[in-house]
Structure 1
Protein backbone atom coordinates (compact mmCIF):
# COMPACT_ATOMS: atom_id res chain seq x y z
CA UNK A 1 0.00 0.00 0.00
CA UNK A 2 1.44 3.40 -0.94
CA UNK A 3 1.56 6.27 1.54
CA UNK A 4 -1.36 8.19 0.04
CA UNK A 5 -3.61 5.13 0.34
CA UNK A 6 -2.36 4.45 3.87
CA UNK A 7 -3.10 8.01 5.03
CA UNK A 8 -6.49 7.97 3.27
CA UNK A 9 -7.48 4.71 4.92
CA UNK A 10 -6.45 5.98 8.33
CA UNK A 11 -8.48 9.16 7.85
CA UNK A 12 -11.55 7.36 6.52
CA UNK A 13 -11.55 4.94 9.46
CA UNK A 14 -11.22 7.74 12.02
CA UNK A 15 -13.06 10.86 10.89
CA UNK A 16 -16.55 9.59 11.74
CA UNK A 17 -15.49 8.83 15.31
CA UNK A 18 -14.05 12.34 15.58
CA UNK A 19 -17.15 13.91 14.02
CA UNK A 20 -19.41 12.02 16.42
CA UNK A 21 -17.38 12.89 19.50
CA UNK A 22 -16.05 9.36 19.93
CA UNK A 23 -12.39 10.27 19.87
CA UNK A 24 -10.09 8.26 22.12
CA UNK A 25 -8.55 10.07 25.08
CA UNK A 26 -4.86 9.69 25.94
CA UNK A 27 -4.89 9.89 29.73
CA UNK A 28 -1.11 9.69 30.12
CA UNK A 29 -0.25 12.99 28.41
CA UNK A 30 -0.39 14.93 31.68
CA UNK A 31 0.63 12.07 33.97
CA UNK A 32 3.88 13.03 35.69
CA UNK A 33 4.29 9.40 36.73
CA UNK A 34 4.45 8.19 33.12
CA UNK A 35 7.85 6.50 33.00
CA UNK A 36 7.71 5.11 29.45
CA UNK A 37 11.05 5.76 27.78
CA UNK A 38 12.82 4.62 24.63
CA UNK A 39 15.47 5.35 21.99
CA UNK A 40 14.55 6.99 18.69
CA UNK A 41 16.25 8.24 15.54
CA UNK A 42 14.41 11.34 14.36
CA UNK A 43 14.38 14.39 12.12
CA UNK A 44 13.09 17.80 13.18
CA UNK A 45 11.15 19.97 10.69
CA UNK A 46 12.52 23.39 9.79
CA UNK A 47 11.01 26.72 10.85
CA UNK A 48 8.81 27.07 7.75
CA UNK A 49 7.19 23.67 8.27
CA UNK A 50 6.75 24.33 11.97
CA UNK A 51 5.15 27.71 11.23
CA UNK A 52 2.67 26.20 8.78
CA UNK A 53 1.70 23.52 11.31
CA UNK A 54 1.40 26.12 14.08
CA UNK A 55 -1.10 28.10 12.00
CA UNK A 56 -3.15 24.93 11.51
CA UNK A 57 -3.00 24.23 15.25
CA UNK A 58 -4.18 27.76 16.04
CA UNK A 59 -7.27 27.28 13.90
CA UNK A 60 -8.10 24.12 15.81
CA UNK A 61 -7.43 25.83 19.16
CA UNK A 62 -10.18 28.34 18.40
CA UNK A 63 -12.58 25.39 18.23
CA UNK A 64 -11.13 23.39 21.13
CA UNK A 65 -8.22 24.72 23.17
CA UNK A 66 -8.17 21.79 25.62
CA UNK A 67 -6.49 19.24 23.37
CA UNK A 68 -2.73 18.61 23.43
CA UNK A 69 -1.14 20.62 20.63
CA UNK A 70 2.37 19.35 19.99
CA UNK A 71 4.76 22.19 20.94
CA UNK A 72 6.97 23.36 18.09
CA UNK A 73 10.24 22.23 19.73
CA UNK A 74 8.80 18.71 20.12
CA UNK A 75 7.71 18.25 16.50
CA UNK A 76 9.54 15.50 14.69
CA UNK A 77 9.50 12.80 12.05
CA UNK A 78 10.39 9.40 13.45
CA UNK A 79 13.05 7.78 11.29
CA UNK A 80 13.00 4.62 13.40
CA UNK A 81 12.25 3.58 16.98
CA UNK A 82 15.29 1.65 18.10
CA UNK A 83 13.72 0.86 21.48
CA UNK A 84 9.99 1.55 21.63
CA UNK A 85 8.97 3.31 24.82
CA UNK A 86 8.22 1.06 27.76
CA UNK A 87 7.81 1.62 31.47
CA UNK A 88 11.09 1.49 33.35
CA UNK A 89 13.62 1.76 30.53
CA UNK A 90 16.53 4.09 31.27
CA UNK A 91 19.98 4.83 29.92
CA UNK A 92 21.71 3.00 32.76
CA UNK A 93 20.53 -0.28 31.21
CA UNK A 94 22.53 0.16 27.99
CA UNK A 95 25.96 1.22 26.74
CA UNK A 96 25.03 4.37 24.86
CA UNK A 97 28.41 4.48 23.10
CA UNK A 98 27.57 1.25 21.25
CA UNK A 99 24.24 2.66 20.08
CA UNK A 100 25.92 5.87 18.94
CA UNK A 101 28.55 3.88 17.04
CA UNK A 102 25.89 1.90 15.12
CA UNK A 103 23.89 5.08 14.53
CA UNK A 104 26.95 6.74 13.00
CA UNK A 105 27.76 3.65 10.96
CA UNK A 106 24.19 3.51 9.59
CA UNK A 107 24.26 7.19 8.63
CA UNK A 108 27.65 7.06 6.92
CA UNK A 109 26.33 7.23 3.37
CA UNK A 110 22.94 8.87 3.78
CA UNK A 111 22.02 11.87 1.71
CA UNK A 112 19.10 13.47 -0.07
CA UNK A 113 16.36 12.92 2.51
CA UNK A 114 13.83 15.37 1.12
CA UNK A 115 10.37 15.47 2.71
CA UNK A 116 7.13 17.03 1.52
CA UNK A 117 4.22 17.64 3.90
CA UNK A 118 0.79 17.89 2.35
CA UNK A 119 -2.62 17.37 3.88
CA UNK A 120 -3.65 15.90 7.20
CA UNK A 121 -4.83 12.54 8.36
CA UNK A 122 -6.20 11.38 11.69
CA UNK A 123 -6.58 8.47 14.04
CA UNK A 124 -9.10 8.24 16.88
CA UNK A 125 -6.29 9.50 19.18
CA UNK A 126 -4.53 12.16 17.11
CA UNK A 127 -4.25 14.44 14.09
CA UNK A 128 -1.16 14.10 11.93
CA UNK A 129 0.48 16.02 9.10
CA UNK A 130 0.99 13.74 6.11
CA UNK A 131 4.65 13.41 5.15
CA UNK A 132 5.96 12.05 1.86
CA UNK A 133 9.62 11.27 1.10
CA UNK A 134 10.86 12.97 -2.08
CA UNK A 135 13.50 10.31 -2.70
CA UNK A 136 14.57 6.87 -1.52
CA UNK A 137 16.99 8.38 0.99
CA UNK A 138 14.80 7.98 4.07
CA UNK A 139 13.91 4.37 3.34
CA UNK A 140 17.54 3.49 2.61
CA UNK A 141 18.56 5.01 5.95
CA UNK A 142 15.82 3.09 7.77
CA UNK A 143 16.90 -0.15 6.15
CA UNK A 144 20.52 0.46 7.12
CA UNK A 145 19.51 1.10 10.73
CA UNK A 146 17.37 -2.05 10.74
CA UNK A 147 20.17 -4.16 9.30
CA UNK A 148 22.86 -2.92 11.65
CA UNK A 149 20.87 -2.99 14.89
CA UNK A 150 19.15 -6.32 14.21
CA UNK A 151 22.54 -7.89 13.47
CA UNK A 152 23.89 -6.65 16.80
CA UNK A 153 23.40 -8.07 20.29
CA UNK A 154 22.07 -4.72 21.53
CA UNK A 155 18.63 -4.37 23.07
CA UNK A 156 16.20 -3.23 20.35
CA UNK A 157 12.53 -3.54 19.41
CA UNK A 158 12.70 -2.44 15.77
CA UNK A 159 9.49 -3.28 13.88
CA UNK A 160 8.14 -5.17 16.92
CA UNK A 161 4.79 -3.34 16.81
CA UNK A 162 4.67 -2.57 13.08
CA UNK A 163 7.02 -1.71 10.24
CA UNK A 164 7.28 2.07 10.02
CA UNK A 165 6.70 3.42 6.50
CA UNK A 166 5.20 6.87 7.05
CA UNK A 167 6.98 10.21 7.51
CA UNK A 168 4.27 12.05 9.41
CA UNK A 169 4.38 14.71 12.12
CA UNK A 170 1.89 14.49 14.99
CA UNK A 171 0.17 17.86 15.44
CA UNK A 172 -2.60 17.14 17.96
CA UNK A 173 -3.28 14.47 20.55
CA UNK A 174 -6.68 14.15 22.18
CA UNK A 175 -6.62 14.47 25.96
CA UNK A 176 -10.33 15.32 26.26
CA UNK A 177 -13.49 14.57 24.34
CA UNK A 178 -13.78 17.20 21.60
CA UNK A 179 -16.04 20.10 22.60
CA UNK A 180 -17.69 20.69 19.24
CA UNK A 181 -16.73 17.61 17.26
CA UNK A 182 -18.59 18.49 14.05
CA UNK A 183 -16.81 21.85 13.78
CA UNK A 184 -13.50 20.18 14.58
CA UNK A 185 -14.04 17.55 11.89
CA UNK A 186 -15.07 20.23 9.39
CA UNK A 187 -11.81 22.10 9.98
CA UNK A 188 -9.86 18.90 9.49
CA UNK A 189 -11.69 18.33 6.22
CA UNK A 190 -10.61 21.81 5.08
CA UNK A 191 -6.97 20.82 5.60
CA UNK A 192 -7.09 17.44 3.89
CA UNK A 193 -4.91 18.64 1.00
CA UNK A 194 -3.22 21.81 2.29
CA UNK A 195 0.46 22.13 1.41
CA UNK A 196 2.63 22.56 4.53
CA UNK A 197 5.86 22.76 2.53
CA UNK A 198 8.99 20.76 1.77
CA UNK A 199 12.50 20.67 3.22
CA UNK A 200 15.76 18.76 3.28
CA UNK A 201 16.86 18.05 6.85
CA UNK A 202 20.38 19.10 7.74
CA UNK A 203 20.81 16.61 10.57
CA UNK A 204 19.42 13.49 12.19
CA UNK A 205 19.36 12.79 15.93
CA UNK A 206 19.54 9.76 18.19
CA UNK A 207 17.56 10.59 21.32
CA UNK A 208 16.43 9.11 24.61
CA UNK A 209 12.77 10.06 24.83
CA UNK A 210 9.36 9.71 26.40
CA UNK A 211 6.25 8.75 24.41
CA UNK A 212 5.52 12.36 23.42
CA UNK A 213 9.05 13.62 22.73
CA UNK A 214 8.65 16.34 25.37
CA UNK A 215 11.66 18.61 25.22
CA UNK A 216 12.27 18.68 28.99
CA UNK A 217 12.55 14.88 29.02
CA UNK A 218 14.34 14.19 25.72
CA UNK A 219 18.11 13.76 25.83
CA UNK A 220 19.98 14.02 22.55
CA UNK A 221 22.66 11.34 22.53
CA UNK A 222 24.17 12.22 19.16
CA UNK A 223 23.56 14.40 16.08
CA UNK A 224 24.81 13.77 12.58
CA UNK A 225 24.92 16.38 9.83
CA UNK A 226 23.67 15.17 6.46
CA UNK A 227 24.03 16.51 2.94
Structure 2
Protein backbone atom coordinates (compact mmCIF):
# COMPACT_ATOMS: atom_id res chain seq x y z
CA UNK A 1 0.00 0.00 0.00
CA UNK A 2 1.13 3.53 -0.80
CA UNK A 3 0.42 5.15 2.56
CA UNK A 4 0.62 8.73 1.34
CA UNK A 5 -1.84 8.03 -1.45
CA UNK A 6 -4.15 6.25 0.98
CA UNK A 7 -4.10 9.21 3.37
CA UNK A 8 -4.60 11.65 0.46
CA UNK A 9 -7.68 9.84 -0.82
CA UNK A 10 -9.10 9.56 2.68
CA UNK A 11 -8.59 13.28 3.33
CA UNK A 12 -10.08 14.38 0.01
CA UNK A 13 -13.19 12.25 0.41
CA UNK A 14 -13.68 13.06 4.10
CA UNK A 15 -12.99 16.81 3.92
CA UNK A 16 -15.56 17.11 1.13
CA UNK A 17 -18.08 15.17 3.22
CA UNK A 18 -17.43 17.38 6.27
CA UNK A 19 -17.90 20.58 4.24
CA UNK A 20 -21.15 19.21 2.82
CA UNK A 21 -22.43 18.33 6.29
CA UNK A 22 -22.20 14.60 5.62
CA UNK A 23 -20.11 13.83 8.68
CA UNK A 24 -20.87 11.28 11.40
CA UNK A 25 -21.27 11.88 15.13
CA UNK A 26 -20.05 9.35 17.68
CA UNK A 27 -22.96 8.82 20.05
CA UNK A 28 -21.13 6.41 22.35
CA UNK A 29 -18.33 8.64 23.68
CA UNK A 30 -20.29 9.84 26.71
CA UNK A 31 -22.24 6.62 27.23
CA UNK A 32 -21.16 5.49 30.70
CA UNK A 33 -22.75 2.07 30.16
CA UNK A 34 -20.67 1.39 27.02
CA UNK A 35 -19.23 -2.08 27.68
CA UNK A 36 -17.18 -2.51 24.50
CA UNK A 37 -13.71 -3.69 25.48
CA UNK A 38 -10.88 -5.46 23.71
CA UNK A 39 -7.22 -6.45 23.76
CA UNK A 40 -4.78 -4.28 21.82
CA UNK A 41 -1.06 -4.09 21.15
CA UNK A 42 -0.03 -0.47 20.72
CA UNK A 43 2.78 2.08 20.55
CA UNK A 44 2.85 5.47 22.28
CA UNK A 45 4.49 8.38 20.46
CA UNK A 46 7.15 10.49 22.18
CA UNK A 47 6.33 13.38 24.52
CA UNK A 48 7.72 15.83 21.96
CA UNK A 49 5.31 14.58 19.32
CA UNK A 50 2.40 14.65 21.75
CA UNK A 51 3.21 18.29 22.55
CA UNK A 52 3.16 19.14 18.84
CA UNK A 53 -0.18 17.34 18.44
CA UNK A 54 -1.68 19.34 21.31
CA UNK A 55 -0.68 22.59 19.56
CA UNK A 56 -2.75 21.44 16.59
CA UNK A 57 -5.65 20.42 18.82
CA UNK A 58 -5.54 23.76 20.66
CA UNK A 59 -6.33 25.49 17.36
CA UNK A 60 -9.25 23.17 16.71
CA UNK A 61 -10.57 23.68 20.26
CA UNK A 62 -10.88 27.43 19.70
CA UNK A 63 -13.54 26.87 17.04
CA UNK A 64 -15.00 23.48 18.07
CA UNK A 65 -14.73 23.28 21.88
CA UNK A 66 -17.53 20.72 22.20
CA UNK A 67 -15.80 17.95 20.27
CA UNK A 68 -13.86 15.04 21.79
CA UNK A 69 -10.10 15.59 21.96
CA UNK A 70 -7.60 12.93 22.95
CA UNK A 71 -5.40 13.81 25.93
CA UNK A 72 -1.70 12.90 25.81
CA UNK A 73 -2.34 9.79 27.89
CA UNK A 74 -4.65 8.29 25.24
CA UNK A 75 -2.78 9.07 22.02
CA UNK A 76 -1.49 5.86 20.43
CA UNK A 77 -0.78 3.89 17.29
CA UNK A 78 -2.53 0.54 17.07
CA UNK A 79 -0.03 -2.18 16.16
CA UNK A 80 -2.75 -4.80 16.13
CA UNK A 81 -6.22 -5.16 17.58
CA UNK A 82 -5.93 -8.73 18.86
CA UNK A 83 -9.46 -8.85 20.22
CA UNK A 84 -11.57 -6.07 18.73
CA UNK A 85 -13.76 -4.28 21.25
CA UNK A 86 -17.10 -5.93 21.82
CA UNK A 87 -19.76 -5.72 24.48
CA UNK A 88 -19.10 -7.78 27.57
CA UNK A 89 -15.49 -8.81 26.93
CA UNK A 90 -13.50 -9.07 30.17
CA UNK A 91 -9.95 -10.20 30.90
CA UNK A 92 -11.09 -13.18 32.92
CA UNK A 93 -12.43 -14.71 29.70
CA UNK A 94 -8.90 -15.35 28.41
CA UNK A 95 -5.61 -16.74 29.69
CA UNK A 96 -3.50 -13.61 29.53
CA UNK A 97 -0.17 -15.48 29.83
CA UNK A 98 -0.78 -17.23 26.50
CA UNK A 99 -1.26 -13.91 24.71
CA UNK A 100 1.88 -12.48 26.28
CA UNK A 101 3.88 -15.50 25.12
CA UNK A 102 2.75 -15.15 21.50
CA UNK A 103 3.57 -11.44 21.42
CA UNK A 104 6.99 -12.07 22.97
CA UNK A 105 7.77 -14.80 20.45
CA UNK A 106 6.74 -12.50 17.61
CA UNK A 107 9.36 -9.93 18.62
CA UNK A 108 12.31 -12.20 17.85
CA UNK A 109 14.82 -10.57 15.47
CA UNK A 110 12.64 -7.48 15.11
CA UNK A 111 14.37 -4.30 13.92
CA UNK A 112 13.66 -1.00 15.65
CA UNK A 113 10.28 0.51 14.79
CA UNK A 114 10.68 4.12 13.71
CA UNK A 115 7.71 6.28 12.79
CA UNK A 116 7.39 9.75 11.34
CA UNK A 117 4.27 11.77 12.10
CA UNK A 118 3.74 14.08 9.15
CA UNK A 119 0.53 15.84 8.31
CA UNK A 120 -3.09 15.09 9.09
CA UNK A 121 -5.92 13.22 7.45
CA UNK A 122 -9.57 12.70 8.30
CA UNK A 123 -12.51 10.36 8.24
CA UNK A 124 -16.17 11.43 8.19
CA UNK A 125 -16.13 11.25 12.01
CA UNK A 126 -12.58 12.07 13.13
CA UNK A 127 -9.27 13.82 12.57
CA UNK A 128 -6.07 11.74 12.52
CA UNK A 129 -2.33 12.35 12.50
CA UNK A 130 -0.63 10.61 9.57
CA UNK A 131 2.02 8.10 10.62
CA UNK A 132 4.69 6.77 8.28
CA UNK A 133 6.93 3.85 9.33
CA UNK A 134 10.45 4.51 8.04
CA UNK A 135 10.96 0.85 7.09
CA UNK A 136 9.12 -2.49 7.07
CA UNK A 137 9.60 -3.34 10.77
CA UNK A 138 6.02 -2.55 11.77
CA UNK A 139 4.57 -4.55 8.88
CA UNK A 140 6.91 -7.46 9.63
CA UNK A 141 5.75 -7.48 13.25
CA UNK A 142 2.07 -7.33 12.26
CA UNK A 143 2.51 -10.26 9.87
CA UNK A 144 4.30 -12.32 12.53
CA UNK A 145 1.54 -11.60 15.03
CA UNK A 146 -1.17 -12.51 12.51
CA UNK A 147 0.55 -15.78 11.68
CA UNK A 148 1.27 -16.76 15.28
CA UNK A 149 -2.18 -15.91 16.62
CA UNK A 150 -4.01 -17.60 13.76
CA UNK A 151 -2.00 -20.78 14.37
CA UNK A 152 -3.08 -20.73 18.02
CA UNK A 153 -6.44 -21.77 19.50
CA UNK A 154 -6.74 -18.46 21.36
CA UNK A 155 -9.70 -16.14 20.97
CA UNK A 156 -8.80 -13.39 18.52
CA UNK A 157 -10.48 -11.22 15.92
CA UNK A 158 -7.46 -9.93 14.03
CA UNK A 159 -8.44 -8.20 10.77
CA UNK A 160 -12.12 -8.92 11.39
CA UNK A 161 -13.09 -5.24 10.94
CA UNK A 162 -10.33 -4.39 8.48
CA UNK A 163 -6.72 -5.36 7.86
CA UNK A 164 -4.68 -2.65 9.54
CA UNK A 165 -1.84 -1.29 7.44
CA UNK A 166 -1.49 2.34 8.51
CA UNK A 167 0.27 3.97 11.46
CA UNK A 168 -2.10 6.85 12.18
CA UNK A 169 -3.29 8.25 15.50
CA UNK A 170 -6.86 9.43 15.96
CA UNK A 171 -6.79 12.68 17.98
CA UNK A 172 -10.27 14.21 17.61
CA UNK A 173 -13.75 12.74 17.23
CA UNK A 174 -17.00 14.48 16.35
CA UNK A 175 -19.48 14.14 19.19
CA UNK A 176 -21.62 17.25 18.64
CA UNK A 177 -22.86 18.96 15.46
CA UNK A 178 -19.99 21.00 14.01
CA UNK A 179 -20.25 24.75 14.54
CA UNK A 180 -17.92 25.67 11.71
CA UNK A 181 -17.01 22.87 9.28
CA UNK A 182 -15.33 25.33 6.89
CA UNK A 183 -12.97 26.58 9.61
CA UNK A 184 -12.12 23.01 10.67
CA UNK A 185 -11.01 22.22 7.14
CA UNK A 186 -9.04 25.48 6.95
CA UNK A 187 -7.09 24.47 10.06
CA UNK A 188 -6.75 20.91 8.77
CA UNK A 189 -5.35 22.26 5.50
CA UNK A 190 -2.86 24.37 7.46
CA UNK A 191 -1.54 21.24 9.19
CA UNK A 192 -2.00 18.96 6.20
CA UNK A 193 1.75 18.43 5.78
CA UNK A 194 2.96 19.62 9.19
CA UNK A 195 6.01 17.85 10.64
CA UNK A 196 4.96 16.57 14.07
CA UNK A 197 8.27 14.72 14.50
CA UNK A 198 9.90 11.31 14.36
CA UNK A 199 10.44 8.77 17.10
CA UNK A 200 11.78 5.29 17.73
CA UNK A 201 9.42 3.06 19.68
CA UNK A 202 11.03 2.04 22.97
CA UNK A 203 8.38 -0.45 23.93
CA UNK A 204 5.04 -1.99 22.99
CA UNK A 205 2.06 -2.10 25.34
CA UNK A 206 -0.49 -4.91 25.53
CA UNK A 207 -3.62 -3.38 27.02
CA UNK A 208 -7.21 -4.19 27.89
CA UNK A 209 -9.04 -1.14 26.61
CA UNK A 210 -12.32 0.54 25.78
CA UNK A 211 -13.20 1.74 22.28
CA UNK A 212 -11.45 5.10 22.80
CA UNK A 213 -8.33 3.90 24.64
CA UNK A 214 -9.19 6.12 27.62
CA UNK A 215 -6.57 5.85 30.33
CA UNK A 216 -9.10 5.54 33.14
CA UNK A 217 -10.61 2.44 31.51
CA UNK A 218 -7.33 0.83 30.46
CA UNK A 219 -5.59 -2.07 32.18
CA UNK A 220 -1.92 -2.47 31.26
CA UNK A 221 -1.35 -6.17 30.72
CA UNK A 222 2.31 -6.18 29.71
CA UNK A 223 5.09 -3.93 28.41
CA UNK A 224 7.52 -5.35 25.86
CA UNK A 225 10.87 -3.63 25.54
CA UNK A 226 12.21 -3.21 22.02
Query: How far is 1:123 from its partner?
Result: 0.4
Question: In structure 2, the residue corresponding to 1:216 is in which secondary structure?
Answer: helix
Contact 1:77 1:169 in 2 (8 A): yes
Deviations along 1:27-47, one digit per CA (max 9) or x if unpaired, are 001110000000000000110
Deviations along 1:206-225, one digit per CA (max 9) or x if unpaired, are 11111100001111111011
Task: Quote the Cα distance in structure 2 between the aligned partners of 1:184 and 1:6.
Answer: 21
Q: Which position in structure 2 is the counterpart of 1:134?
A: 134
Task: Quote the Cα distance in structure 2 between the aligned partners of 1:28 and 1:107.
Answer: 35
Within the alignment, does 1:9 sit opposite 2:9 as a pair? yes
Within the alignment, does 1:107 sit opposite 2:107 as a pair? yes
Question: In structure 2, the residue corresponding to 1:115 is in which secondary structure?
Answer: strand
Q: Which position in structure 1 is the counterpart of 2:86?
A: 86
Unaligned runs of 5+ in 2: none
Contact 1:20 1:182 in 2 (8 A): no
Aligned length in residues: 226
Task: Quote the Cα distance in structure 1 between the aligned partners of 2:63 and 2:22.
Answer: 16
Task: Quote the Cα distance in structure 2 between the aligned partners of 1:25 and 1:134.
Answer: 33
Deviations along 1:153-201, one digit per CA (max 9) or x if unpaired, are 0000011111100000111011011111111111111111111100001
Task: Quote the Cα distance in structure 2 between the aligned partners of 1:37 and 1:189.
Answer: 34
**What's the TM-score, normalizing by structure 1?**
0.98
Structure 1 segments of 4+ aligned residues over 4 angstroms from their partners: none
Unaligned runs of 5+ in 1: none
| Alignment RMSD | 0.8
**What's the TM-score, normalizing by structure 2?**
0.98
Query: How far is 1:108 from its partner?
Result: 2.6
Query: How far is 1:22 from its partner?
Result: 2.9
